[in-house]
Amino acid sequence: MLRTPISSSDLRSVGYDPQTQTLEIEFNSGGIYQYFNVPVGIYQGLMSAASHGKYFHQNIKNTYSYRQIG
């Protein structure tokens, strides 16, 4: 999945597949995770948030099922 680099202390890059509603996040720590059944509005909110890390912790982490892929 193609990811867009972002400026964040926690997140390095973010990708999204609207057909499968899969959100892919690469963390600065090196891990890459896919989050499933994420609505496009959540992805858009993450990308436009003033703090990507804060948005992730408040709206994505512990909300959507995920798997580590890297």
The kind and range of the H/E element at 45 are: helix 40-48
For the chain, the domains span 4-68
Q: Looking at residue 16, what is its pLDDT?
A: 98
Give the helix/strand (H/E) hosting 48. Answer: helix 40-48
SS3 of the chain: helix, strand, coil, percent, to 5: 25, 30, 45
Burial 32-67 (b: 16+ CB within 10 A, else e): bbbbeebeeebbeebeebeebbebbeebbeeebebe
> What is the DSSP code (8-state) at residue 66?
E
Question: What's the predicted TM-score (pTM) here?
Answer: 0.96
pLDDT in tens, 15-52: 999 999 999 999 999 999 999 999 999 999 999 999 99
